[in-house]
Structure 1
Amino acid sequence: MTLAADEPDVLRKLSFLDRYLPAWIIVAMGAGLLLGSVIPGLREVLDAVKIGQVSLPIALGLLLMMYPVLAKVRYDRLGAVTKDRRTMVLSLVLNWILGPALMFALAWLMLPDLPEYRTGLIIVGLARCIAMVIIWNDLACGDREAAAVLVAVNSVFQVLMFGVLGWFYLDLLPGWLGLDTSSVDFSPWEIALSVVVFLGIPLAAGYLSRRAGERNKGREWYEGTFLPKIGPVALYGLLFTIVILFALQGETITSRPLDVARIALPLLAYFAVMWTSGYLLGKASGLSYERTTTLAFTAAGNNFELAIAVAIGVFGVTSGQALAGVVGPLIEVPVLVALVYVSLRLRKRWTTKAPVG
C-alpha cells in the first residue's frame, strides 16, 4: 500500500520517543525482570513508605505519568461542545456505552479462566482516551479542535463516572448475568478513590498549569515551550512503573509467558471494532472526513495511564490487573499507527469523486 505524495509520513512525524514507544516498553519489561532477579528484597524497600495501599515511589511515578497528559488538554474548548451535538452524542455513545460494554464482552469471552487479567481489561475499557489520541488524530488529518473538545470531555467525565461504571461492570452486571466473580475481591469505593487521586489530582494540576501559564506567559509560550519540556515526563513515569511492575512480577511472568499473548488478543479485537464503529457511524451520520476520523480515534484510544494507576491502587502492583494494563500500550501504539495509514487511504477515496459515465 502506497500513500499519496501529499499525505504525511506517519512514523517520521512522530517524536523519537513516541515512534519507538513499543520498544521502550519492551526494554522496560526486560529491565524490570532483570532488576527483580538481582534485588530479591525490592518489594520490602518499596513498601517502606506508602500512600494508602500504594508505595510512595510508585504513587509518584503514576502521578508524573498522568500530569503532562492533562496539562495538554484545552479546557477552554469545553464551551464548544454544543456546537456539534451530532459529534458529541456519537462520541458519548461510543466512549461510554459501546467501549466499556465491548471490552466487558471480549474479556469474559476470551479470558473466562483468567479473572485477574479479565478484570484488568475491563478497567482498560473504562479508561477513555485523553492522551496519545491527539497525536493519532493529527497524523490522520482529523479535526484538531474537535479532538481537543472530546479529550476535555472525557477527562472530566472520567472523574465523575469511572467509579460508577467500575461498580456496574465489575460487580452489578456480572451478578445479573450469573457470572462468577468470587475470585476477584474489590470495593467500588477503592476504584473511586484511586480515580480521584490518580486522575483528579493531576487533572487539577494540569488545569491550573494551563491557566497560570497562559495568563502569565501566553498560549504560544505554554504550548510551544512548556509542554514540550514536560511531555517526556509522562513516558518516564510510564516506563518507571513498568520496570517496577515487572521487577515484582518476574516469577509469574516468566512462568506463564502465554498470558501476555492471551491479553493481547481481546485488545486487538477491541481496537479494530471500536475504530471501525466510529468510522462507520461518522460516515453514516454525514460527518466530514476530519470529524469522522476524530470520532474513530477517540473511540479506539484508551487512557492506559489511568487504567494502570487504578489497577495498582486497587489490586496492587503485583496483580494480574496491573499487568493487563501494561500490555495495553504495547499493543495500542502499533495498531493505531497502522490505522492512521488506513485513515489516510480512506481520506483519498473520500475526497475523490467517481468518474462520470
Structure 2
Amino acid sequence: MSAPEGPVAGRLAFLDRYLAVWILAAMAVGLGLGRVVPGLGDALAGVTVTGVSLPIALGLLVMMYPVLAKVRYDRLGAVTGDRRLLLPSLLLNWILGPALMFALAWLFLPDLPEYRTGLIIVGLARCIAMVVIWNDLAGGDREAAAVLVALNSVFQVIAFSALGWFYLSVLPGLLGLAQVGLDVSVWEIARSVLIFLGVPLVAGFLTRRIGESVKGRAWYEARFVPRVGPFALYGLLFTIVVLFALQGDAIASRPLDVVRIALPLLVYFAIMWVGSLALGRAVGLGHPRATTLAFTAAGNNFELAIAVAVATFGATSGQALAGVVGPLIEVPALIGLVHVALYARRFFAPSVALTGKDPAHV
C-alpha cells in the first residue's frame, strides 16, 4: 500500500512497517488487562445496547470508516459485472468455507463437542468487517472488497440460520454424528450486519460524495484521505485490546484448549487463503482482485460468531471460547498473509498486478 505524501504519511508508513509488532502488543495488552484488572472483562461485556458491545462496535466503526471512505463508489459497476470475481467468491464463502471448517472441526476436535460447535459457527460467519483492513494493506482492490463484503452481508442475513441448522443438525445426523441445535433469529444477524457494515459504509459513501462535491476529487484524495487513513489502524488496535481484555482470563486459564482450537483454524486460514488466491489467478483475475478474493474468503465475522455463541450457549461456554480464539489466531495469521500477498505480486503479470484487469482491457 503506497503511503501518501506529507507528515501523515510518515506516521502511516511507520504503523504499516511495524504493524505485526503493534498487533502482537495490542493482544498482549488486552490479555494482560483481562488478567490483572479484576472485573474488567465483565465491565466491558456489560457496556452493551441490545446485546451489541459498544467498545467493540466503536473500535470496528473507527477501523472501517477510513477504508470505506477511500472507496471510489463510481467504480463499483466495473466490479459487479465481473463474474470471475463474484461467482468464485460465492462458492468459496458459502459452500467451500463452511464445509471445510465443519470437516476440520470434526477432524481435530472429535472429543470436544463445545469447541467443535464453536468452530463450526465461526466458519458460518463470513467476514464483513476486519477484512477491509487486510485487503487494503495487501494492495487489494478496494472497490472489489466493498462489493464482496456487501454481498457477504446479504447472504449472511439470508443463509446463516439455515446453514447453522444444516451443519449442526442435518449433516451430523446423516453421518451418524452428534447433533446440536442453534437458536438464532434473522434479526440478530441483520443487526450485526447493519451495525458493523451498514454504518461505516453509509458514512464512507456520504463523506466521499460530500467531500468531492464541495472540494473536488483532487483535494479529497490528496488531503482528506491521508488524514483519516491512520485511524483505521488505530481502530484495529483498540478493537484487539478490547477483544482480548474481554476474554483474557479464559484464554490464559485454558492454554491447552486454546492450542487445540488454534490448530484447525490455522489449517483453515492457510487452505482458504492460498486456494482462493490460486483460484483467482487461474480464472484470470489480477493481483488486486485475486488478493481481495483470498482475504474475503479466508476471514470470518468473529463479532457475529461470538454473539451467536454467547446468546445460544452462554458467555462462559466452550462455544464462546472457540469464537474468541478465532480472532486470536486470525489476526496474526492474516497479517502474515498480508506480507505473502505483497510477495505474490511477482507471480502476476505486471500490467495486471497494477490494474486488476486483464492486459487486453488495460
Q: TM-score range by the shorter chain?
A: 0.7 to 0.9
Residue in 2 that maps onto 1:118: 119
Residue in 1 that maps onto 2:160: 166
Residue in 1 that maps onto 2:219: 221
* Kept after mapping to 2: 8 A contact 1:271/1:335: no
Select the residue among 318, 330, 333 that pairs with 2:332. Answer: 330
C-alpha offsets along residues 135-172 of structure 1, whole Å, 9 cap, x if unaligned? 3236xxxxxxxx24421211321332212232133223
**How far apart are residue 304 of structure 1 and its match?**
9.3
* Kept after mapping to 1: 8 A contact 2:266/2:329: no
* Corresponding letter in the other structure for 1:118: L
Select the residue among 184, 203, 212 that pairs with 1:205. Answer: 203
* Corresponding letter in the other structure for 2:146: A
Residue in 2 that maps onto 1:192: 190
Alignment CA distance shift 1:83-1:312 (3 Å): closer
Residue in 1 that maps onto 2:358: none
**How far apart are residue 118 of structure 1 and its match?**
0.4
* Kept after mapping to 2: 8 A contact 1:124/1:307: yes
**How far apart are residue 95 of structure 1 and its match?**
4.2
Residue in 2 that maps onto 1:141: none
* Kept after mapping to 1: 8 A contact 2:269/2:333: no
* Corresponding letter in the other structure for 2:59: G
Alignment CA distance shift 1:127-1:102 (3 Å): farther
Q: Note if 1:132 corresponds to 2:134.
A: yes
SS at match of 2:132: coil
**How far apart are residue 216 of structure 1 and its match?**
1.5
SS at match of 1:137: coil
Q: Note if 1:253 corresponds to 2:257.
A: no
Tell me the number of residue pairs that the alignment of Structure 1 and Structure 2 aligns: 327
Distance 1:55 1:342 in 2: 37
User: For structure 1, which segment, 70-79 or 109-118, has the greater mean C-alpha deviation from structure 2 after superposition?
Assistant: 109-118
* Kept after mapping to 2: 8 A contact 1:64/1:234: yes
**How far apart are residue 55 of structure 1 and its match?**
4.0
* Corresponding letter in the other structure for 2:237: L
**How far apart are residue 40 of structure 1 and its match?**
0.9
Distance 1:159 1:34 in 2: 33
**How far apart are residue 259 of structure 1 and its match?**
4.0
**How far apart are residue 274 of structure 1 and its match?**
3.2
Distance 2:128 2:105 in 1: 15
C-alpha offsets along residues 317-357 of structure 1, whole Å, 9 cap, x if unaligned? 87321331342121111133124324425659x99xxxxxx
Q: How do residues 1-357 of structure 1 correspond to structure 2 at under 5 angstroms?
A: 15-43=13-41, 45-46=43-44, 49-81=47-79, 84-112=82-110, 113=112, 114-115=115-116, 117-119=118-120, 121-123=122-124, 125-127=126-128, 129-137=131-139, 147-177=141-171, 178=173, 180=178, 182=180, 186-285=184-283, 287=284, 291-302=285-296, 307-315=301-309, 319-320=320-321, 321-345=323-347
5+ residue gaps in structure 1? 1-7, 9-13, 139-146, 352-357
Distance 1:303 1:276 in 2: 10
SS at match of 1:182: coil
Q: Under a length normalisation based on structure 1, what TM-score does the superposition of the two structures give?
A: 0.76
C-alpha offsets along residues 246-305 of structure 1, whole Å, 9 cap, x if unaligned? 2232221112223444444334333433344344444544x2xxx243343222214999
Let me know the Cα RMSD of the aligned residues. 3.5
Distance 1:181 1:210 in 2: 48
Distance 1:85 1:237 in 2: 33
User: For structure 1, which segment, 129-138 or 331-340, has the greater mean C-alpha deviation from structure 2 after superposition?
Assistant: 129-138
**How far apart are residue 26 of structure 1 and its match?**
1.9
Distance 2:221 2:104 in 1: 39
SS at match of 1:40: coil
Alignment CA distance shift 1:68-1:116 (3 Å): farther
* Kept after mapping to 2: 8 A contact 1:72/1:227: yes
Distance 1:163 1:151 in 2: 18
Q: Under a length normalisation based on structure 2, what TM-score does the superposition of the two structures give?
A: 0.75
Distance 2:182 2:220 in 1: 44
SS at match of 1:130: helix
